[in-house]
């Protein structure tokens, strides 16, 4: 499994090496995201709109630079390939379930306006994916799992507006570039990334981080 395009990954590596401003102050916050996930149209094809979740920890500089770490999860359904065969007494369900969990470093730049903060950036990290097929043999239910792990890249942009002095609500659009090989459940390598539309809630940790 690897990033679909090398250019976004190289750009993130270059930006990650840029040190924060020497005299900038900063604050730390956590952000929770939830929304819908539209998987990349592949073979086998996605069947339904999925769900995306995220939890991140981020340091924000006065310059607008943001960097941190996040854990994300995506849940989606795919059509079971017709080539999947479980034996003469086994019935295979026509829907497989995919769960993808990743840990990634993030880097973004924010621009403050009178009403909202606008930001754009990206992330790169390690993702674990599990494709599960469901079926039954002589009436007894069972599952078959295929797994893959590798690197993925996300690009994102969004906006946030203040709710209280310490918290913000926001809307984010994110594109995940990711591929995996699930053997007989995917007939080779397939794209498992896609586009997420997410609602976000951000809150500062107590206290002020040291400059």
Q: What is the pLDDT of residues 5-31, one digit of tens each?
A: 454 444 444 344 444 434 456 789 999
User: What is the per-residue DSSP string for the chain?
Assistant: ---S-HHHHHHHHHHHTSPPPTT--EEEEEEEEEEEEEE---SSPB-S-EEEEEEEEEEEETTSEEEEEEEEEEEEEEEPPTT----TTEEEEEEEEEEEEEEEEEEEEEEE-SS-EEEEEEEEEEEEEEEEEEEEETTEEEEEEEEEEEEEEEEEEEEEEESSSSEEEEEEEEEEE-EEE-GGGTTSEEE--EEEEEEEEEEEPSS-B--
Q: What is the pLDDT of residues 94-129, one digit of tens each?
A: 999 999 999 999 999 999 888 899 999 999 999 999
Q: Is 91 a residue whose pLDDT tops 80? A: yes
Averaged pLDDT score across all residues of the chain: 86
Q: Between these two residues, 138 and 16, which has the higher pLDDT value?
A: 138
Quote the pTM value.
0.83
What would the two tokens of residue 126 be?
């390690």
pLDDT number for residue 206: 65
Q: What is the pLDDT of residues 144-176, one digit of tens each?
A: 899 999 999 999 999 999 998 889 999 999 999
Q: What does DSSP say about strands 194-204 and 167-177: parallel, antiparallel, or unpaired?
A: antiparallel
Classify residue 139 by burial, with Cβ atoms within 10 Å: 0-12, 13-18, 19+. Answer: exposed
pLDDT number for residue 48: 86
pLDDT number for residue 205: 84
């Amino acid at each position: 499994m690897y990033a679909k395009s090398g250019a976004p990954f190289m750009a993130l590596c270059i930006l990650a090496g840029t040190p924060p401003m020497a005299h900038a102050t900063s604050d730390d916050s956590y952000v929770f995201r939830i929304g819908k996930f539209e998987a990349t149209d592949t073979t086998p094809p996605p069947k339904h709109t999925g769900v995306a979740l995220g939890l991140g920890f981020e340091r924000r500089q006065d310059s607008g630079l943001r960097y941190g770490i996040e854990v994300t999860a995506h849940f989606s359904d795919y059509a079971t390939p017709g080539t999947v065969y479980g034996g003469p007494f086994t019935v295979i369900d026509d829907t497989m379930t995919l769960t993808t969990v990743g840990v990634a470093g993030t880097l973004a730049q924010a621009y403050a306006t009178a009403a909202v903060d606008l930001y754009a950036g990206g992330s790169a990290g390690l993702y674990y994916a599990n494709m599960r097929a469901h079926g039954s043999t002589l009436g007894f239910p069972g599952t078959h799992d295929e797994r893959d792990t590798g690197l993925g890249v996300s690009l994102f942009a969004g906006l946030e507006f203040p709710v209280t002095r310490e918290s913000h609500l926001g809307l984010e659009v994110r594109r995940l570039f990711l591929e995996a090989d699930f053997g007989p459940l995917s007939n080779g390598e397939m794209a498992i990334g896609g586009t997420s539309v997410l609602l976000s809630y951000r809150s500062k940790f107590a206290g002020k981080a040291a400059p």
